[in-house]
Amino acid sequence: MTPRIAALDSGTYYHHRTLYEPRYRGFFDGIIYTRDLGTIPLDDYDTLIVSCRTDPSVLIGHRDKFAAFLDSGRTLVVMGSTGPGEWLSDVEWHFTPTNFWWWKEGGSLGLHVTAPDHPLFDHITLADATWHHHGHLIIPDGAVSLIDVGDLGSILYDDTVSSKGRKIVTTLDPMYHHGSHFMPATTRFLDGFLPYLKGLAPAK
């Protein structure tokens, strides 16, 4: 069975382009406006994507709903700039100054793959996840970091141990940049990441 995926829509132009335009629309079985989250049941979905740059103040009141979704064995995907430490347990986020111009200055972001055998890397490369990041994460004990930044921590990890479900957490914001028509790596990231999510085993 193919998992049923829902994504949150904050009503922004970049969410609209990512979620509704033909390139990715077929990956989403449901699109939930964030202001309606309290009234929309999630039972029909195996995976919920908290889309990039969703205002955390809208999410905080739904802590119990996210926890129950995970407790039912489902997958929660937490994208960048959503303030997950404010509304999700076991997520430790730290601010990192953002270097927007490393590619013009001839520098490096210091990213490196830490779990090359993870199935995600059948779909994306490190280059597809390299544009910039807005912070780093300290992963829970037993979770698997997929990409680290230097020796600071993770910018993308897979956690199947801190709840009955799965959390995929990142500081990357591909929806924002794809939806803003700049940074081609972000489109390549979504081109691989969304098929990867569709390949995950659905909740039992």
What letters, b where the CB count within 10 A reaches 16 and e where it falls short, cover 112-122?
A: ebebeebebbe
Residue 117 CA to residue 75 CA, distance in Å, equals 20
pLDDT tens digits for the chain (204 residues)? 899 999 999 999 999 999 999 999 999 999 999 999 999 999 999 999 999 999 999 999 999 999 999 999 999 999 999 999 999 989 999 988 766 655 556 666 789 999 999 999 999 999 999 988 888 999 999 999 999 998 999 999 999 999 999 999 999 999 999 999 988 999 999 999 999 999 998 866
Report all structural domains of the chain as residue ranges with CATH numbers, in order of start: 5-198 (3.40.50.880)
Q: What is the pLDDT of residue 198?
A: 96
SS3 148: strand
d(CA 176, CA 67): 26
SS3 state at 138 = strand
> To 5 degrees, how large is the angle CA 132–CA 193–CA 67?
90
Can you give the pLDDT at residue 40?
96
Give me the pLDDT at residue 104, please: 56
- Written in H, E and C, the secondary structure of the chain is CCCCEEEEECCCHHHHHHHHCHHHHCCCCEEEEHHHHHHCCCCCCCEEEECCCCCHHHHHHHHHHHHHHHHCCCEEEECCCCCHHHCCCCCEEEECCCCCCHHHHCCCCCEEECCCCCHHHHCCCCHHHCCCCCEEEECCCCCEEEEEECCCEEEEEEECCCCCCEEEEECCCHHHHHHCCCCHHHHHHHHHHHHHHHCCCCCC
